[in-house]
Chain A
Amino acid sequence: DTEVTQTPKHLVMGMTNKKSLKCEQHMGHRAMYWYKQKAKKPPELMFVYSYEKLSINESVPSRFSPECPNSSLLNLHLHALQPEDSALYLCASSQVGGGGTGELFFGEGSRLTVL
């Protein structure tokens, strides 16, 4: 099984809503990532979890709150978002280690629209 599964695929929310994006992988990867991608731009790193601990937080506003409940799951909790947060949110996973740890596997993404 070489898949990263993200739900929902599409989400429309108002600025006062609270919602969550979910990501699951069963490849035994111990590094999981959230990237944000705006149209015609490359993916921008938001968070990295390594062995279920937050290892990188790229100065993301607190209205985005990540959670890694176990080694297979990664959530991104959303609250009081702004219209400019509308983007494709990509979850990814990889092995942890040195010397080129291997491919970064991406999910299909959750396309978020904030009204």
Chain B
Amino acid sequence: EDKVVQSPLSLVVHEGDTVTLNCSYEVTNFRSLLWYKQEKKAPTFLFMLTSSGIEKKSGRLSSILDKKELFSILNITATQTGDSAVYLCAVEVDNYGQNFVFGPGTRLSVLP
């Protein structure tokens, strides 16, 4: 069974801190790994990673994938209260049909 695990499940930090969120996976027929941010409504896309070792960066957020060790990390530097959200990791697989398997999410709370 395809599985995506995230850690920590929740995290409380203060503004200005740097955080690292972890995602590991055990799947067959891996295609890509995606990070999403979810506040009150639908998840919003952050990054898609397909190749090992290539960092994707967007402002204060960055992410990297290790396909040998089967994990990815999402870094957020200089956190702000607006970063408070659930961060979801999803792996795209193709097992008798295309699918995206989600991890449980990391709930990040950034305090002022």
Residues of A in contact with B (beta carbons under 8 Å apart): 31, 33, 40-45, 48, 50, 55-56, 90, 92, 94, 96, 98-109
Which one of B45, B88, B96 has the highest number of Cβ atoms from chain A below 10 Å of its Cβ? Answer: B45
Q: Which residues does B use to contact A, with CB under 8 Å? A: 31-32, 34, 41-45, 48, 50, 88, 90, 92, 94, 96-105, 107
Q: Closest CB of chain A to B76's CB: distance in Å?
A: 19
Taking CB atoms, residues of chain A closer than 8 Å to B96 are 55-56
Given contacts A31-B98, A55-B98, contact A99 B50 (CB under 8 A): yes
Given A100-B48, A104-B34, A48:B98 Cβ within 8 A: yes
| Whole-angstrom distance between the Cβ of B3 and the nearest chain A Cβ | 12
Q: Which of B31, B90, B97, B101 contacts A101 (CB 8 A)?
A: B31
- A102 neighbours in B (Cβ, 8 Å): 32, 48
